[in-house]
Structure 1
């Protein structure tokens, strides 16, 4: 256990300077770039933190049990699925998230993936570099006048909706918990969203109830040629079903920033699929979002400790 100042454990190898300034009365311990659960447990045993800021890895019951002084687990971002909230509740440990801190970054990345799919940006770039000129044969998708369906209408989903509306798209949305939605979003049930959307973008948290939300059945209920975008959590999609739907043409293309297992294995079947555009879970990784998430994670944790 560390002596002196109370400890903040960061499950990463850095934190924004602006966030560190808020923690000047605490000792900050870093778990490294890719900590395992065992690494986090060992650090909790050694330093007994009062707070954990979660960047990478999972914080489960064993880590919480190893830190008797732990009062709060604060997510450096919005998704708390890597934190055992049941174990936290049982120990009276608060779980907080920097909701909205990376909303602009993730919404912009989702739009980039949608545009990349609709305009075949990645495929045409590769063809051009290989010496081809496909102007006579290529037809891209025009998004104006088409319908995009959003699953999840928090800060990221609403920001994406406003951008889609600005491009002249009809915006459908499903979120049973969302309130005070902007006029550009038409609230619908899931069946309507699958049936009427030309593109679908996922912006909801991963829960036991919605794991595999996009699967063989729901993909079959979509328009043929639908574009799928996921900047949320990989577990929302049955990856085998999506691959089969892309290969059959039921899904026209997909832009994916998150995956069931991360990092992706070198042998992942998505590799080499020209109609699947991939990025390594970087939707929220911008210089601005790094600062915003760090500051909010620190503020949220301190608010719990000082209440």
Structure 2
């Protein structure tokens, strides 16, 4: 029986129903790279469903039967795509399966920052009543700049438009944008935005996209939201910009190193709202991503099997 390795502890029952006939191997909630490598060596999976951890070249080399790596979500930056391509292994992603969930998280973080939700909650629990001294930021009429206009970015754009915000968007690959997104160059987004929200994949070219230089070119008091990948932001530069007042606040769901280690400077900065990379973690998204990951890998395996049969028939 061919094995499928899941780099996590579980998979939605709806996805498992599609994968009947395969041996399902689970790596657990927080698998280490050594544990993942050992599972590849022991079970030689025909497919890997990527939830947590990385799929590196060593894992790929340890699984000679491997034909497809299927991401349980949309971001494939944790997969060594060059190593996979060298072996002829296909990498597929569940694009859009968690779009609604992540867009809603971005909206929640933007509102939490603009309305000081976390800070005011803590103040009230400490016995304070700041009605006479606190002023929140009204988002109606403000400009939000989006970097990345895939399924998530466009959903968030529609939410922001419904709130009466002007939406600027940068994505060199996006076409046929809806009327509520105004295409803009990155420099225009830095210059004009009251809120900047990141929705793009992490690449070698855009790592530390928001650094000291770009943050300095932004409007003073800008809000930064990141539900994409932590590597898009130079964390030290963001912290310095918040402490100087250049950035009003930040809502972050992803980080350069995950899980976040104890004592990280962000943990003691009240103007940063933190969530543990759970933007796409809802009950509905869990099912949608699992089903999409299963269907994607089955499509590859079925196509490979048909190609092999056709070659053998010649």
- Give the alignment's TM-score, normalised by structure 2: 0.96
Alpha-carbon distance in 2 for matches of 1:236, 1:216: 12
Residue 19 of structure 1 and its aligned partner are, at CA, apart by 0.3
- After TM superposition, list the pairs within 5 Å mapping 1:24-35 onto structure 2: 24-35=20-31
> What SS does the aligned partner of 1:306 have?
helix
Over 4 Å off, 4+ runs: none
Which residue of structure 2 aligns with residue 241 of structure 1?
Answer: 237
Which residue of structure 2 aligns with residue 178 of structure 1?
Answer: 174
> What SS does the aligned partner of 1:9 have?
strand
Alpha-carbon distance in 1 for matches of 2:266, 2:169: 28
Alpha-carbon distance in 2 for matches of 1:187, 1:122: 33
Residue 238 of structure 1 and its aligned partner are, at CA, apart by 0.2
Which structure shows the bigger proportion of residues in helix conformation?
Answer: 2
Which residue of structure 2 aligns with residue 99 of structure 1?
Answer: 95
Q: From 22, 41, 48, give the equivalent of 2:44.
A: 48
Q: From 174, 186, 199, give the equivalent of 1:203.
A: 199
Which residue of structure 2 aligns with residue 231 of structure 1?
Answer: 227
Which residue of structure 1 aligns with residue 77 of structure 2?
Answer: 81
Residue 15 of structure 1 and its aligned partner are, at CA, apart by 0.3
Q: 1:212-260 CA distances to partner (integer Å, 9 max, x unpaired)?
A: 0000000000000000000000000000000000000000000000000
Q: 1:18-47 CA distances to partner (integer Å, 9 max, x unpaired)?
A: 000000011100011111121111111111
> What SS does the aligned partner of 1:24 have?
coil
- After TM superposition, list the pairs within 5 Å mapping 1:1-307 onto structure 2: 5-307=1-303
> What SS does the aligned partner of 1:44 have?
helix
> What SS does the aligned partner of 1:34 have?
coil
- Give the alignment's TM-score, normalised by structure 1: 0.98
In structure 2, list runs of 5 or more residues that go unmatched: 304-314
Q: 1:143-167 CA distances to partner (integer Å, 9 max, x unpaired)?
A: 0100000000000000000000000
Residue 59 of structure 1 and its aligned partner are, at CA, apart by 0.3
